[in-house]
Amino acid sequence: MTELDALLSEVGRRGFMWHLFRADRYGPEVLAGVFQHSGCADVVVLTDVECAHAYRLATGVDTDVFAPVRVSWWYVASPVWTLRALLTLAEPTDRHRPDPLVAPSGFGVPGDRVPVSLRRRPHTKQGATS
């Protein structure tokens, strides 16, 4: 198992819901994971083997987590480094919510976002064993 495989497994184990998209009917597949907190969501988007990005955004009734306008945290690097950064994020609290920033260009899932599959793994507490 590679480090990327282990990190993807850990993110899924922590309760992220995985979404697989195509940018269009012929485009490459994009894997995105979402973890919904109370009032915000953590999102990771893996666009290819060399590039990924993650962000935290406030959520509401009409929020499209795959098309962020403002984010409170973001990170761009290789998939391994992006997943490492995501896994070190502290739980959001009302006392420590930074002011949102304009989301960097290109964040979210590109294209028409045609969903091709959806999978939810059982959520377990961090450190718990099955």
18 domain-assigned: yes
Kindly report, residue by residue over 69-126, the tens digit of the pLDDT.
Answer: 999 999 999 999 999 999 999 988 866 667 788 888 888 887 666 555 555 666 665 5
Tokens coding 61: 């009734």
Question: What pLDDT does 113 receive?
Answer: 62
Evaluate whether residue 27 is within a structural domain.
Answer: yes
Question: Is 129 inside a domain boundary?
Answer: no
Least confident range from 9-23, 28-42, 45-59, 108-122: namely: 108-122
- The token duo for 55 is 């962000």
Q: Mean pLDDT over all residues of the chain?
A: 85
pTM score: 0.81
The total of structural domains in the chain comes to: 1
In a domain, 124, yes or no: no
Range of the domain at 100: 3-119
